Amino acid sequence: MEKEISVIVPAWNEAQCIEKNILALEEFLSRNFSSHEIIISEDGSTDGTDEIVRNLSAKNVNIIDLHSDKRLGKGKAINNAFFSSSGKKIFLIDADFPTGLGNILKMTRLLDSYDIVLGSRLEREGRAERPILRTFLSVSYNSLVRLFFRTGIKDHQCGVKAARRGVLEDIIPSMISRGFSWDTELIARAKKRNCRMAEVPIVWKDRRHSRSKISVAREINRMGMGILRIWYRINFAGRD
């Protein structure tokens, strides 16, 4: 049966926060939507996240446990969740809930006028509470993506976004990215299809229980290679 909204939550080793966050999300959706489902795409966790999600799903029919025994990557986990969903509107949010749930209403309402609505930490009223190094890498990455794809989008990597179901049904089957580059490939392919996209400024809080282990050289290489692979796929690999 078709739902008004499907919220997809990719999750990997989120035992510290997953139960509290999903229960809060379920309560919020129950108050604000006529029908909904939460699909937790649990991606081979090793910290007990899988058991927590299984228990949540057993107690509530609106919470769907989509488990993988092995690590697939965030992009592949999202794709699997989408093809298991039934919502007219699709909303994606990271399991640690880096931004307020009120953005679900704000962004899905804009789907009456747009095909995809993107959370943006780089819009004028948006901001990200994160280490300076992460901010530097984010700004650098987004500048390169705009150079290659002319998307007009400021923030290509935000994990908070909303989309019409039909748009994702058209784009996702042609996508190859399974990890870090999934969000960028989605936006680049949407741009090529002349989809109507909007950015909504959000306040983003990086998780505080994790320590950054970023290698600048490795991250710059990964970002650059990811952009080049997407550019080649879209322009020469015949994947559209």
Residue with more model confidence, 41 or 207: 41
* Rounded mean pLDDT, 213-237: 75
Taking the model in full, what pTM does it have?
0.91
Q: How confident is the model at residue 57, as a pLDDT? A: 98
Using one digit for the tens of pLDDT, what is the confidence trace for 3-50?
Answer: 999 999 999 999 999 999 999 999 999 999 999 999 999 999 999 999
CA–CA–CA angle 129, 133, 139 (5° rounding) = 80
Q: What is the pLDDT of residue 133?
A: 77
Mean pLDDT in the chain? Answer: 90
> Cα–Cα distance between 231 and 64 in angstroms, integer?
35
The answer to whether 177 and 75 are in contact (CB under 8 A) is yes
pLDDT of residue 148: 92
pLDDT confidence of residue 210: 46
Cα atoms in the Cβ-side hemisphere of radius 13 Å centred on 121: 22
DSSP 8-state assignment for residue 174: G
Torsion on CA atoms 204, 57, 82, 70, rounded to nearest 10: 90
Q: Between 125 and 66, whose confidence is greater?
A: 66
Which amino acid appears at position 215 of this protein? Answer: S
Give the model's pLDDT for residue 213: 44
Q: Domain 3-236, CATH 3.40.50.970 — does that match?
A: no
Q: Is the pLDDT of residue 170 over 80?
A: yes
| Confidence check: pLDDT of 185 > 60 | yes
Q: What is the pLDDT of residue 238?
A: 55
Which has more confidence, 157 or 126?
157
pLDDT category at 215 given cuts 50, 70, 90 is: low
For residue 209, the model assigns a pLDDT of 43
- The catalytic residues are 183
- Rounded percentage of the chain residues whose pLDDT exceeds 90: 70
Kindly report, residue by residue over 58-99, the tens digit of the pLDDT: 999 999 999 999 999 999 999 999 999 999 999 999 999 989
- Closest-CA residue to 90 (of 4, 22, 6): 6
* More confident position, 164 or 207: 164
Residue 172 DSSP code = G
- Please tell me the least confidently modeled range out of 75-84, 165-174, 202-211, 231-240: 202-211
Domain boundaries, the chain: 3-236
Report whether pLDDT(54) > 70: yes
- Residue 123 confidence (pLDDT) above 90: no
Q: Is residue 212 over pLDDT 50?
A: no
Longest Cα pair distance anywhere in the chain, in angstroms? Answer: 48
